[in-house]
């Protein structure tokens, strides 16, 4: 059926407390993507609405948002795979277009996390684990990733100082991203300064500076068939490879604690589909909900051998000028993490990079970009490879 391309991308500013409704929030990302694609609502054949449930009171938000965005009577559906929802939405949009069922599909991701308190938000995130055998005992996201951090440190000699370097990098680029929640500089010294908020303990060995912030935000990706993409866009970005995997919900059912198997498996699938290797990737967006998550991503994606991810950040190889630039938009650590919108925001960054439209964070002449988006504590993994 030909290639499948991305012709429009958009996102709202990610903020700590959006004053409007969920539908108004979703419209902000959708509007930017539609302006980017320079198409009208009647050109969209179907929509996929992505978020994690239970952060607002609206059941079946797809119908509500599709109506507000002017996408009825076209078909719509609601899709969730926790934090990787909109990357999974991209996978389904690709399938709908590749099959010939639709020519143009909008993937809209959103989350208004400020509808509930931080404590309630953590409780809902914890229920991303098994509510019968695991999350009932009070496990929450920082504690889960802290266990991975401890294992990585024990196995490979990774240090808290190595993790701090990842946050320092994120902040250096977050300052340049007008849509990021956190736009302040961060130094390694802040992690050892008891007066700095960055040094506050969360779940040992993770500190406040090692953790991303909750946020409200939306994103949108417009996916089109090759014929429509060439007709609508002067710079379509093509979907070259897609990988997806899942694993045991309970950590007791897993056999790797220094990395995420879903990331490794979905990366292998995506590389094979695209006909490339990790060495061919010019710029990447990885799911850095915690600093240890980015460290593990370096290794799971093949940018470094197991245990050698720390060498990449120590030598600044993941900076914009390095061998493999990673999260040069500030990542989740700076942008914030509105669950359903995160994957779409990552895709937006890579699309802009491949078009040469990323401004101050532009990597030199990239041809292939990668998006790594994880749902839950390594429960779902999605890797998307895009090319110009």
List, by residue number, the catalytic residues: 83, 337
Interatomic CA distance for residues 87 and 89, integer angstroms:
5
Using alpha carbons only, give the angle 243, 3, 37 rounded to the nearest 5 degrees. Answer: 95
Q: What is the 3-state secondary structure (H, E, C) of 164-207?
A: HHHHHHHHHHHCCCCCCCCCCCCCHHHHCCCCCHHHCEEECCEE
Cβ proximity of 76 and 49 under 8 Å? yes
Dump the DSSP string for 62-87: HHHHHHHTT--SS-EEEE-BTBTHHH
Cβ proximity of 337 and 217 under 8 Å? no
- Report how far apart, in Å, the C-alpha atoms of 80 and of each of 63, 102, 245, 380 are: 15, 21, 14, 11
Interatomic CA distance for residues 24 and 124, integer angstroms:
23
Cβ proximity of 93 and 48 under 8 Å? yes
SS3 299: helix
Residues 6+ apart with CB under 8 A from 370: 270, 281, 283, 284, 285, 301, 350, 383, 384, 385, 386
Q: What is the DSSP letter of 324?
A: S
Task: State how beta strands 368-375 and 216-225 pair.
Answer: unpaired
Residue 209 is encoded by which pair of tokens?
């500076």
SS3 241: strand
Using alpha carbons only, give the angle 45, 79, 335 rounded to the nearest 5 degrees. Answer: 100
Interatomic CA distance for residues 77 and 102, integer angstroms:
14
- Report how far apart, in Å, the C-alpha atoms of 99 and of each of 1, 79, 225, 232 are: 7, 19, 10, 20
């Amino acid at each position: 059926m030909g290639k499948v391309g991305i012709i429009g991308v958009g996102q709202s500013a990610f903020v700590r407390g959006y004053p409007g409704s969920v539908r108004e929030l979703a419209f902000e990302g959708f509007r930017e993507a539609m302006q980017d694609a320079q198409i009208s609502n009647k050109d969209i054949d179907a929509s996929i609405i992505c978020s994690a449930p239970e952060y607002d009171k609206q059941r079946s938000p797809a119908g509500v948002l599709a109506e507000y965005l002017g996408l009825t009577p076209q078909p719509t559906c609601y899709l969730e795979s926790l934090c990787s929802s909109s990357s999974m939405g991209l996978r389904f949009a690709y399938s709908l277009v590749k099959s010939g069922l639709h020519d143009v599909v909008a993937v809209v991701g959103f989350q208004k996390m400020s509808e509930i308190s931080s404590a309630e938000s953590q409780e809902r995130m914890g229920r991303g684990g098994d509510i019968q055998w695991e999350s009932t005992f009070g496990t929450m996201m920082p504690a889960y990733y802290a266990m991975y951090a401890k294992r990585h440190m024990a196995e490979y000699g990774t240090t808290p100082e190595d993790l701090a370097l990842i946050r320092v990098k994120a902040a250096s680029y977050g300052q340049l991203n007008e849509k990021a929640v956190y736009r302040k500089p961060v130094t390694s010294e802040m992690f050892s300064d008891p007066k700095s908020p960055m040094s506050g303990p969360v779940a040992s060995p993770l500190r406040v500076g090692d953790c991303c912030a909750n946020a409200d935000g939306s994103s949108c990706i417009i996916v089109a068939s090759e014929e429509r993409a060439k007709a609508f866009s002067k710079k379509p970005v093509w979907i070259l490879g897609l990988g997806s995997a899942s694993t045991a919900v309970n950590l007791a059912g897993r056999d790797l604690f220094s990395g995420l198997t879903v990331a490794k498996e979905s990366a292998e699938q995506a590389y094979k589909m695209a006909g490339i290797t990790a060495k061919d990737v010019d710029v990447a967006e990885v799911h850095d909900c915690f600093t240890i998550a980015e460290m593990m991503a370096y290794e799971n994606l093949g940018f470094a051998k197991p245990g050698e991810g720390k060498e990449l950040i120590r030598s600044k190889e993941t900076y914009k000028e390095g061998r493999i630039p990673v999260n040069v938009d500030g990542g989740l650590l700076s942008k914030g993490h509105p669950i359903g919108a995160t994957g779409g925001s990552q895709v937006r960054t890579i699309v802009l990079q491949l078009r040469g439209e990323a401004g101050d964070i532009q990597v030199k002449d990239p041809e292939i970009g990668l998006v790594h988006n994880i749902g839950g504590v390594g429960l779902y993994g999605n890797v998307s490879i895009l090319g110009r």
